Structure 1
Amino acid sequence: MKKALLIAGFFLYAGNLCFAQTFEYKTITVVESIIPNGLGRSRMISSEETRDYKEFTSERSGENDERNKSDRGEIRLKNFEETKLLNFFNMGGIRFQNIAANDAVVTSKLNSLSEQGWELVFVNSGVESYSGEDDDGGIYVTRYILKRLRS
């Protein structure tokens, strides 16, 4: 009886190893300008390179207070996809057609990624909004986190 349970346990364990799933993740960032008069730049950005976060990470504690000394140039990458989007504002104020156009472009990108096996799992957004004459900046940032089975 013990032998049968041991063998069954082994096969259950081995079966779980065979079906263990690992995923790869991808982040798409959309930056939309909310600067009046159409002066800002709006883009959808997608990295075409990978980085290992461990190369730029240090573990700090009371005994070890040494920071990571990675050069910014090592983190920066040059291979990325940049898709032009329209600004939220133009000379006449907020432009709803621009928002709809941006939605169509972002949706097209998400649909294309879905066809490649990516699944949208999380969306996060934030705003640094324009607040009048003394504030010359404003952006609306949305990050789309996607995953797919690692092959």
Structure 2
Amino acid sequence: MVFIFTLFATTIFAQDNVKQEFEVKVITSVESIIPDGLGRSRLISANDKRDYKQFTSSQTKDDNTRNKSKRKDIRVKGFEETKLLNFYNIAGIRFQNIAANDAVISSKLTTMISEGWDLIFVTSAVESDAGADDGNGIFITRYIFKRKLN
């Protein structure tokens, strides 16, 4: 009995010391809700990697030095851009476009899952047309994935 307890306890404590290493990937869909179909809609996925620490500073009471990173150093040139259709066309909201976008986004998500990514979180937001003088709007969704590093 002592042997089984010792084996069990050793296994539990050994798992606490094993650090799981994961990578995270964010896919963003931007769908235009600009009337008359004038906007641009895309599914975006960065290929280039960035280390957030290079662009971060810590503010304290004694040191409020800001990070001096240049935008060009943060900007990503290597990314995948998948064309999506706008929610509106000249006649108004186009439900076929929404269904087409759903099919394209589903294809991307299915491919990522088959490549070992786990979808862990989805968040979305909208900035809609604010009236007669605005005429702008987007619907944005972020799909956050994680995958265990090999």
The answer, yes or no, to whether TM exceeds 0.5 is yes
Q: Deviations over 1:24-60 (max 9, x none)?
A: 1100000000001110000000000110000000000
List structure 1 segments (4+ residues) > 6 angstroms apart after TM superposition: 5-11
Unaligned runs of 5+ in 1: none
Distance in 2 separating the partners of 1:15 and 1:137: 51
Aligned: 1:41 with 2:40: yes
| Counterpart in the other structure of 1:27 | 26
What's the RMSD between the two structures over aligned residues?
2.0
Q: Cα gap change, 1:41/1:10 in structure 2, threshold over 3 Å: closer, same or farther?
A: same
Distance in 1 separating the partners of 2:9 and 2:99: 56
Distance in 1 separating the partners of 2:8 and 2:84: 57
DSSP 3-state at the match of 1:122: strand
| Counterpart in the other structure of 1:107 | 106
| Counterpart in the other structure of 1:124 | 123
CA drift of 1:130 comes to 1.1
Q: Deviations over 1:45-94 (max 9, x none)?
A: 00001100000000001111110000000000110000000000000000
Give the TM-score normalised by the residue count of structure 1.
Answer: 0.89
CA drift of 1:138 comes to 0.3
1:2-151 to structure 2, matched below 5 A, reads 13-14=13-14, 16-18=16-18, 20-151=19-150
Give the letter for the 2:33 counterpart: I
How many matched pairs? Answer: 146
Q: Cα gap change, 1:59/1:97 in structure 2, threshold over 3 Å: closer, same or farther?
A: same
Give the letter for the 2:41 counterpart: S
Of 20-29 and 107-116, deviating more is 20-29
